[in-house]
Every structure is written in C-alpha cells, then in structure tokens.
C-alpha cells in the first residue's frame, strides 16, 4: 500500500493500492503512442498546452497548495508560492521554447549544415516529495515543449499530489497518455527504466538513490539527468553586510524546514566577523515560529517523515558530541507530528557530521575560516557541488572567488534559488545534467547534425 501521512499529526490521511502490472503496461503503451503523435506536431502546436497548464495551476492553486501542506508539511504560504513558480515556468517555456530549439546553422564544407533538435521519446521522471509540484513541472514543461512524453513515478509519501498533478494535465487538455502518473513502489523503477518504451530518465533525490538509478539507466544505455544531494556553502567574508547576510541566511537555511538540496547548510564565516554573524543569525532564528503549517503565522512546519527527523537529530547529536557548540534547538519537539526546532551549531569543523554529511532539515552549521582563501577551501571540502553563496562588499572580488568554488551555481550577495531562466544542476556527487533555462530544454533532445552537399545540375 502507498500511504499518505500528515506530518503535522503523524496520522494517516489516505492510502492507495499501487497500479497493477497490467495498468503499468497500458500506461507505457499509451505514453509511447501519444508521444509519437505529439513529436510530429510543430512546436507552435505544442506550446499552447503549457499556457493552459499555467492557467490550470493558478485556478486550483489553493487546493493544490493545501495538498502539498497536508502531505509533506510545508507552510501554506510556501506551498502557494510553489504552485505559482510552476505556472511561471510553464509560461516561460511557452514563450521561449521555439527560440531555444530553433535549428542552428553551422559553417562547414557543406552547401548547408545545421544542428536540429528532436525529442528523445518518453522520459521516466522519478521525483521527490520536498517540492512535489515544482520538481515535476520544472522537468515537464521543457520536456513536453520539446516533444517528449512523461511517465511520472512520484515519491511514495505524496500520492495525493501525484494524482492531483495527473488531474492538472487532464484539465489542461493534455493528450491522453502523454503525461502518465503511476503509483508504484520503488522496486518498480528498475523495470520501468529497462522498458524499451522509456527513452531516458530524470531523477531528483538522494545521492544514494541517484547512484542506483544511474547504474540501471547506464546498463540500458539511456540518457539520465540527476539532481541529487547538496551541502551548499554560504560564505560570509569580513567585508560583507553582516545584518543582510544573517537575514538572508535564515531564508537560505530554513525555507521548507531546511528540506531542500539547494538550501544553504554550511555557513563558512571569516573569523573577524564570525561572532557578529552568529549573534545576528541566532537572534533571527530564535524569532522563527514553529507550528501548524496551515496557520498564517507559521514559519516552519514539521519535517516530512519521522525517520528523516530521527536521522537529522542523530547528525546533531554526533556533531555536538564531537565538540560543536549548540547555540539553539537540538532536540525533537514533544507532541504529535514530526517537528524539529530550528537549530544552530557553531564551531563546527570539517571532521564533524554536520559539515561532512548532508543535513536535510532545519539545522545550520557555522564553521569559522581564517581568511577568504581558507573559506573557499572549506567550501570545496565536500563531496557535493550543487550551489553556493558568497557575501562580500566587493562584487568583482566575489566574481573572482565564485570561479574557484566547485558548484553548479554561485550566487553573490543573494539567496540561492532556482529560476526558470537559469540552468540549474550540480557537479560531483550532486549529480549531472541541467534543468531550466536553455540548457534544460535541450537535455532530452537529439541534437542531430544535418549536412547537405551541393546540388548537382542534371546534364543537358
């Protein structure tokens, strides 16, 4: 059974029987047929679907947001913002897909040569629970605009969101079968990847699951895009605006109760300003309100599952036992639900769990650096490479330092966030491939070279 559990109470909301093998087979057959027809349509005939998807999302925003909050616990305001971001992304690709996928002439020895972009086919999307609508639509909008189809295997703890996403596509007039949603157990993913009707795979999730899926897709010789874990550094240099950096740090770490691959997790601060930063950071963290995610004044809701909270607390315990200073929080909250208080650790060193491991929850770890060079070395001292932030009054210096950070994105004096206009993805054990922007729409296309020689005139 696939169960939906309210993380604010720990109570079961609903349960669903997984789709049967016969239903899965029918969905794959329908997806392949629908995608073949979809790919044959010109892009101008495909992008209106994206406009309708945006309209459908906005029309049902409150209902979809409440489903998100009920199933994974984020505050309702954040859930509404997630729906709007999905709609904005659909609108973005409706407007720009034709330009991104236009034939590209190439100078060569031919009379004419060009690179053309053709869809790969049906893409299997294995998606996570932490942004249950956004993660799907940031892939689906460009993939569908490019002429691909989709089979969605969503996270097991957000089945109602998965079914709601299916209704969004249906209500927007998506061709039947083109965007299939399957409720299946994780063990079914391997057979889906191996199926000849699946052309490629995209996954957002943990590094461990990413390695498994990459191996399965690799054996089938199928294209993959993987957006995996992160332990993003938030580097504060001595010349930074400390108050602004601290205020942004709260959003960077505690949005979605810290349950995001791209949340800042390691706060690397130059010694000269470390005490000031920790004091300002702690004051703002202490003001955060933890509670019912449906309440308008709640800043932090519950964590999504009990086992995630237990794993996070174990990381905090091990870090404190290794010598870190516990400034705030540090223990699960009593009562129903999976609540963990916003927690601040100081004097964290690279050998400690909160520095070395990904902390997927409301825990911030401060590490002190001797100088800027040491801060960059600490930022890179991780197996992850998703994103990073640098805070400095010298923008030119920030740009130079950004080139030394090993990450898929670096934000200078700003909050790291995905944006449909900008490519998004990681390096090292944070995965490979890109979503969003012009690069994202080209991940699941065949960049085909077409070479045309000179036409020979027939002899008289």
**Residue 322 three-state SS:** coil
Report yes or no: 424 and 437 within 8 Å, Cβ to Cβ. Answer: yes
174 catalytically annotated: no
Annotated catalytic residue, options 71, 78, 82, 227: 227
Q: How far apart are CA 126 and CA 213, in angstroms?
A: 9
- Sheet with strand 387-391: strands edge to edge: 325-328, 343-346, 363-369, 264-270, 232-236, 387-391, 409-412
Q: Which of 208, 168, 167 is nearest to 186 (CA)?
A: 208
The DSSP call for residue 300 is B
Q: Is 357 tagged catalytic?
A: no
The answer to whether the CB of 160 falls within 8 A of the CB of 71 is yes
358-377 residues labelled b (16+ CB within 10 A) or e (exposed)? bbbbbbbbbbbbeebeebbe
Q: Are 360 and 259 in contact (CB under 8 A)?
A: yes
Helix/strand number for the chain, H first, E second? 15, 20
Strand partners, 457: none
DSSP assignment string, 222-236: -EEEEE----EEEEE
Question: Alpha-carbon Rg of the chain, whole angstroms?
Answer: 23
Give the helix, strand, coil percentages of the chain, each rounded to 5. Answer: 45, 20, 35
- Active-site hit among 86, 161, 174, 261: 261
Query: Which of 421-457 are b and which e, b meaning 16 or more Cβ less than 10 Å from the residue's Cβ?
Result: eebbbbebbbbbbbbbbbbbbbbbbeeeeeeeeeeee
State the distance between the two ends of the chain, measured CA to CA, in whole angstroms: 76
SS3 at position 94: helix
Length of the chain: 460
Distance (Å, whole) CA 190 – CA 198? 11
Contact by Cβ (8 Å): 133, 83: yes
Annotated catalytic residues are 227, 261
């Amino acid at each position: 059974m696939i169960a939906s559990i309210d993380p604010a109470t720990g109570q079961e909301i609903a349960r669903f029987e997984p789709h049967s093998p016969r239903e899965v087979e029918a969905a794959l057959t329908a997806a392949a047929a629908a995608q073949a027809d979809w790919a044959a349509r010109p892009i101008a005939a495909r992008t209106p679907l994206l406009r309708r998807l945006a309209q459908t999302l906005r029309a049902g925003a409150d209902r979809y947001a409440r489903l998100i909050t009920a199933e994974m616990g984020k505050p309702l305001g954040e859930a509404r913002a997630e729906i709007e971001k999905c709609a904005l992304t659909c609108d973005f690709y409706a407007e720009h897909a034709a330009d991104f996928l236009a034939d590209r002439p190439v100078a060569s020895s031919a009379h004419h040569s060009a690179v053309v972009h053709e869809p790969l086919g049906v893409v299997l999307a294995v998606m996570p629970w932490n942004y249950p609508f956004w993660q799907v639509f940031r892939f689906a909008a460009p993939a569908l605009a490019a002429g691909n189809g989709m089979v969605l295997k969503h996270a097991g703890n957000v089945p109602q969101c998965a079914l709601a996403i299916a209704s969004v596509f249906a209500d927007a007039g998506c061709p039947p079968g083109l965007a299939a949603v399957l409720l299946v157990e994780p063990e079914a993913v391997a057979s889906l990847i191996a199926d000849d009707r699946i052309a490629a795979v995209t996954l957002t999730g943990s590094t461990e699951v990413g390695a498994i899926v990459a191996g399965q897709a690799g054996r089938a010789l199928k294209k993959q895009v993987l957006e995996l874990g992160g332990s993003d550094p938030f580097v504060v240099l001595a010349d930074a605006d400390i108050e602004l950096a601290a205020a942004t740090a709260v959003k960077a770490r505690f949005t979605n109760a810290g349950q995001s691959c791209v949340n800042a997790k390691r706060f690397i601060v130059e010694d000269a300003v470390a005490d000031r930063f920790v004091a300002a950071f702690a004051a703002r963290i202490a003001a955060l309100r933890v509670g019912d995610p449906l309440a308008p004044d709640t800043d932090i809701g519950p964590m999504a599952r009990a086992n995630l909270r237990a794993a996070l607390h174990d990381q905090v315990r091990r870090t404190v036992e290794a010598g870190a200073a516990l400034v705030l929080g540090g223990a699960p909250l009593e009562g129903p639900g999976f609540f963990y208080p916003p927690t601040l650790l100081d004097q964290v060193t690279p050998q400690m769990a909160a520095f070395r491991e990904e902390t997927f929850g409301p825990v911030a770890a401060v590490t002190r650096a001797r100088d800027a060079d040491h801060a960059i070395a600490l930022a890179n001292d991780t197996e992850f490479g998703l994103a990073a932030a640098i805070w400095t009054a010298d923008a030119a210096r920030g740009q130079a330092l950004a080139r030394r950070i090993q990450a898929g994105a670096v934000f200078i004096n700003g909050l790291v966030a995905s944006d449909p206009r900008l490519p998004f993805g990681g390096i090292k054990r944070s995965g490979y491939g890109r979503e969003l922007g012009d690069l994202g729409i080209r991940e699941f296309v065949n960049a085909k070279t077409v070479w045309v020689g000179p036409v020979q005139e027939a002899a008289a």
